[in-house]
Structure 1
Amino acid sequence: MTKEKMKKKWASTRKLLEITDDEYNGVTQEDANLRFVKMKLQIAVYYMQLLDEHDSEYQVPWNKEQFKWALRKPVGDKKKEQAKDWCHQCRLIRDKACTSWSYEEAKTA
């Protein structure tokens, strides 16, 4: 998959995971929890993008409804733990797949 196609594939997801100024500047525990969840999911999406770049086959560890649930307020410990788990699962998928990736260096003239 080309980088352009990969970016388009994940564009709407990345948009949902953007941390707004209000969330970034928020001082409540709810704001901190939401920032944590979004950051963990941003990392997970990054791993999925790497897999796409290398045309690796994988199964995303969440479905659309679970993803929406994780971003819906109130955000408590259960959602934080779920986001952390998804991020870890994505890293493991990436780590397993990357052993077969070829890193041939581009030849220069």
Structure 2
Amino acid sequence: MTKEEAKKKWDLTRKMLEITDDEYNGVTQEDANLRFVKMKLQIAVYYMQLLDEHDSEYQVPWNKEQFKWALRKPVGDKKKQQAKEWCHQCRLMRDKTCTNWNYEEVKTA
């Protein structure tokens, strides 16, 4: 899959994870929790996109309902922990798979 195809595949998900001005400027714990969850999921999606760009096989660690649940308010410690775990799982998948990529591919990905 090319970079453009991989980017297009994840466009909708990235839009859902964009941090709005209200969320960014929010001062409540709820706002901070939501920012944390969105940032962790943005990183996870980045890893998944890298895997797609290199035609790697993987299984997304969440399903559609779990993903929606994580972004739904109220956002507490359980959702923060889940987003952190998903990000970690995606990083491990990327790390395991990228050993097969040559240095130039990783550098330009």
State the number of aligned residues.
105
Partner of 2:8: 8
Identity of aligned residues (%): 90
Deviations 1:46-78 (A, max 9, x none): 000110111100000000000000000000000
Higher helix share: 2
Letter of the structure 2 residue corresponding to residue 2 of structure 1 = T
Unaligned stretches of 5+ residues in structure 1: none
Unaligned stretches of 5+ residues in structure 2: none
Cα shift at 1:101? 1.0
Cα shift at 1:4? 1.1
Deviations 1:58-106 (A, max 9, x none): 000000000000000000000000000000000000000000112358x
Larger CA Rg, structure 1 vs 2:
1
RMSD across aligned positions (CA): 1.0
Q: Structure 2 length as normaliser, TM-score? A: 0.94
How many Å separate the matches in 2 of 1:30 and 1:104? 41
Runs of 4+ in 1 over 2 A off after TM superposition: 102-105
Q: In 2 relative to 1, CA 104–77 (structure 1 residues): closer, same or farther, beyond 3 Å? A: closer
